[in-house]
């Protein structure tokens, strides 16, 4: 397996000085999910798992559409692999020879997806009255406290701005900014239904893992289909399938609230 990764490292990535900390581009590995070995591949410095293989093994009792819709509802985007990477996956036995494409998701995302079908949730335990310290850099940027206990609908005013103490919904908050002395202006990109999930980040990039995971779970809430779903022009690295096969109705009710509050 290792030789496969080395063979293709050259053609698969254009980045020589890779900051992956030992992870070589297109390095093949294996990770065990629910007792099943799944092939992994290092893409952009991150180990990603083959969604097709997960679908064909762990989630084989579910249809393509069910898996796709759940993935979208959980806010998981897949990275499409290149022809070279596809060939590596085939040789590693992750994909049938006939497959022409494959989406790759991170291990953490794979776990969330599988958990949502197979159960065995272990909700992150957050202290009572917990708030995420979040920031965005749209326009002059802002910082606030995202209070999950207040986040009971997509429009809930659950973020308290730390500069003016006003409450905003996530969608509104990314358009709310303060020109602090060291702020730099970033032109906000086109507004779309889900853009706050891309722009709003935990202020502390080194948040403890359980906090980072809980934040991902919170962001996945109320992220089901909508009449206002993102248009194809919005993002280049989200998968094509996500755009082509938009769920027609909302999956909000299937999104599980993982937090214990
Ligand atoms: Zn404010």
Query: Distance, CA 238 to ligand 1 centroid (Å)?
Result: 31
The helix or strand, by DSSP H or E, that contains position 244, with its residue range, turns out to be helix 240-244
Query: Distance, CA 178 to ligand 1 centroid (Å)?
Result: 6
What is residue 21's predicted lDDT score, i.e. its pLDDT? 55
**H helices, E strands: number in the chain:** 9, 10
**Quick check: 214 and 124 in contact, CB under 8 A?**
yes
CA dist 19 → 2, 24, 66 (Å): 20, 9, 36
Nearest to 200 by CA among 172, 227, 180, 221: 172
Residues 12 and 108 in one domain: yes
Query: Distance, CA 146 to ligand 1 centroid (Å)?
Result: 13
Instruction: Establish if 96 belongs to a structural domain.
Output: yes
What is residue 158's predicted lDDT score, i.e. its pLDDT? 94
Q: State the Cα–Cα distance between residues 136 and 175, nearest whole angstrom.
A: 9
What is residue 194's predicted lDDT score, i.e. its pLDDT? 61
Query: Distance, CA 214 to ligand 1 centroid (Å)?
Result: 24
Strand partners, 50: 104
Query: Distance, CA 130 to ligand 1 centroid (Å)?
Result: 20
What is residue 220's predicted lDDT score, i.e. its pLDDT? 79
**Quick check: 42 and 81 in contact, CB under 8 A?**
no
Query: Distance, CA 57 to ligand 1 centroid (Å)?
Result: 48
Query: Distance, CA 36 to ligand 1 centroid (Å)?
Result: 48
Instruction: Establish if 234 belongs to a structural domain.
Output: no
Instruction: Establish if 258 belongs to a structural domain.
Output: no
Residues 138 and 215 in one domain: yes
Query: Distance, CA 179 to ligand 1 centroid (Å)?
Result: 10
CATH number of the domain enclosing 85: 3.10.260.20
**pLDDT tens sequence for the chain (261 residues):** 444 433 333 333 334 444 445 788 888 998 888 778 899 999 988 899 999 999 988 888 888 899 999 999 899 988 998 989 998 888 888 887 777 788 999 999 999 998 888 875 444 556 778 899 999 998 899 999 999 888 888 899 999 999 999 999 999 999 999 998 888 888 876 655 568 998 999 999 988 888 888 888 888 777 654 333 333 333 333 322 222 222 333 332 222 333 322
């Amino acid at each position: 397996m290792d030789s496969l990764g080395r063979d293709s490292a050259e053609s698969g990535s254009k980045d020589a000085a890779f900051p992956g900390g030992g992870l070589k581009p297109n390095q093949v590995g294996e990770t065990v999910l629910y007792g099943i070995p799944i092939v992994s591949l290092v893409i952009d410095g991150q180990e990603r798992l083959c969604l097709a293989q997960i679908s064909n093994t762990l989630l084989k009792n579910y249809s393509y559409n069910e898996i796709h819709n759940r993935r979208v509802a959980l806010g998981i985007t897949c990275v499409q692999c290149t022809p070279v990477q596809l060939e590596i996956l085939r040789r590693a036995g992750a994909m049938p020879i006939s497959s022409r494409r494959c989406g790759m998701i991170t291990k953490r995302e794979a776990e969330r997806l599988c958990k949502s079908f197979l159960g065995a949730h272990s909700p992150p335990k957050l202290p009572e009255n917990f708030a995420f310290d979040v920031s965005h850099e749209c326009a002059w940027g802002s910082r606030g406290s995202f209070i999950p206990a207040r986040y009971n609908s997509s429009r809930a005013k659950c973020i308290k701005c730390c500069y003016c103490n006003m409450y905003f919904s996530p969608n509104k908050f990314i358009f709310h900014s303060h020109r602090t002395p060291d702020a730099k202006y970033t032109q906000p990109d086109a507004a779309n239904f889900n853009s706050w999930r891309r722009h709003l980040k935990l202020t502390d990039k080194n948040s403890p893992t359980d906090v980072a995971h809980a934040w991902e779970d919170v962001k996945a809430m109320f992220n089901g289909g909508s009449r206002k779903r993102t248009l194809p022009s919005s993002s280049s690295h989200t998968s094509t399938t996500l755009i082509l096969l938009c769920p027609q109705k909302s999956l909000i009710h299937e999104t599980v609230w993982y937090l214990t509050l």
